[in-house]
A and B are shown apart, each in its own frame.
Chain A
Amino acid sequence: VVRLTIPALHSFRDLVLSAVSAAIDAAGGSPSTDVRDEIVSALSEAFNNVVIHAYRGVRGGTVDVRIDATGPARAGSADAPGDASVEVCLLDRGRPFEPLDVPRFVSPTLDAPSDLDDLDVAQIVADLPESGMGLFIMRSFMDDVSYQPGGGGKPNALTLRKSWRRVVDAEAERRDCVPQRTPERRDCVPQRTPERRDCVPQRTPQRRDCVPQRMPSGPSTGMESSAKSSSEKDPEGAVSREQNASFAGGPSSKKESSRSGWRMRSVAVPSYEQSTVGSLKRK
C-alpha cells in the first residue's frame, strides 16, 4: 500500500494521478489505455470533491491518499495473465458531504439515439446540464465507489475500486491493430487472435463498441480490457436495468446509502448500447 499526505489543492491532483499510475505499473497491472483514462477521470473527480466540497473555504487542509494496487508482480508471478485492480482511498478531515443531497445527474444525451435531427439536437442542447457530473463519472468508470463520513476523530473516506483484465503484451496489441478512421489505437480492428479478428467497430469507432461476428463467447484477451468493466460484470444487462429503476442517485449504479455512509457499485453504463454488453463479457 502506498500512502501520501498532500495539500488539498488542485495543483496536487497530478501528483495523485502519477502515484496511482506508478503503483499500478509497479504491481504489473498493465491496464489498457482506456482503463487508464477511466481511472484518471474518476480520480480527478474524487480529488475535486475533496478540494472543492470538503475543504470549501478552508485553508491548509490535507488529503491522505492510500493506494493499493494488485497484479501479478505483487503475486510473485509477473508473467501470469489475469486480473489486476486498484483501490484508492482519499481521507480528509473537512466537511462531510451527504450523498443524498447530491442531485441525480440527468442529461438528455444519455438516452439520445445516434441519428438525431436538428430539432432533436436543439431541444437536447437546451436541456444539457452544466454541472453535477462528478459523481456520475466516478460511478460509471469505477467498479465500486463508497463514502464514509468522518467524525469522532475519524476522517471522511472516499474509496474507489476498479479491476480489469491485464494487457499482457501491449506492444503486440498495438502491432495487431489496424487503424480505421483515425490513427488512434482505440480505433483499431485487432487482427491476430480469433476473438480480436472477430470484432469490428460499430457506429462509433471505439473498441468498446465492438461486437463479435463469429464467436459470441470465448477466452478473454486484452481486447476486453478496454470495455467498461462494470458492463463486463453484468453482461446480460438485466440486473442493471432493475437497479436503474430503483436507484435515485443515477441510472447506472446500485447504491446502498445510510447516514453512516454509502456505497455504489457500477453495473452498467447506460450510455452504451445494451445490446453490445453481452458481447463484451470478460469471464
Chain B
Amino acid sequence: MTNYTRTDSGDETVLRIEGTLDAATAPDLRTVVDAIVDEGRQLVTLELSGLRLIDSSGVGVIVSLFKRVRAHGGQVRIQGLRDQPRAIFRLLRLDRVFPT
C-alpha cells in the first residue's frame, strides 16, 4: 500500500511517498513521475519520511525521475530517508548523488 501526495508550490513540487514502494506499487509511482517530468517541473523534492519499505523496483523509479529531471536542468532532492529505505540507498551509494 502506497500513498502519494503531490504538492506544487511555485517552481517546486513536493512528492510525499508513504508506505511501501515495491514491484507492485512502483508502476503507480511511475505514472506520477511521468506527469512531473512531462510538466517540466524543475525542483522536485521527494519526502520519504513515511516510506516504510522500498525494493529495487521502487529505487528504479526514483532513479528514473532523478535522471529525467536532471536531463532537463532540474534538481531532485530527497528528504526524510530512514530505516530500510536508507539502508538501500546507502548500499547503492545513491546518497552520493541525491542531494538530501
Contact = CB atoms under 8 A, between A and B. Distances in A.
Interface of A: 10-11, 13-14, 33-34, 37-38, 40-41, 44-45, 48, 51-52, 107, 109-110, 112-114, 116, 121-122, 124-126, 128-134, 137, 140-141, 182, 184, 204, 206, 269, 271
Contacts of B97: 109, 112, 116, 121, 124-125, 128
Interface residues of B, number: 30
Interface stretch (B4-12, B35-43, B63-71): B63-71
B84 A137 contact: no
Contacts of B84: 37, 40-41
- Per CB-CB distance, the 9 closest pairs between chain A and chain B, nearest first, are A10-B24, A133-B56, A109-B93, A130-B60, A37-B84, A37-B87, A134-B56, A44-B55, A112-B96
B22 A48 contact: yes
Contacts of A41: 55, 84, 87-88, 91
B29 interface: no
Contact of B55 (A45, A107, A140, A204): A45
Contacts, number: 94
A137 B90 contact: no
Interface string B58-100: 0111011011001100000000001110011011111111000
18 contacts: A10-B22, A10-B24, A40-B84, A41-B55, A48-B22, A109-B93, A112-B97, A121-B97, A122-B70, A126-B67, A133-B56, A133-B92, A137-B55, A140-B91, A182-B82, A184-B82, A269-B91, A271-B90
Main secondary structure on A side of the interface with B:
helix
Contact of B66 (A128, A140, A141): A128
A182 B24 CA distance: 31
Contacts of B92: 107, 109-110, 133, 271
A130 B64 CA distance: 6
Most chain B CB within a 10 A radius of its CB, from A41, A116, A129, A204: A41
A130 to B, nearest CB: 4
A13 B22 contact: yes
Contact of B56 (A10, A48, A184): A48
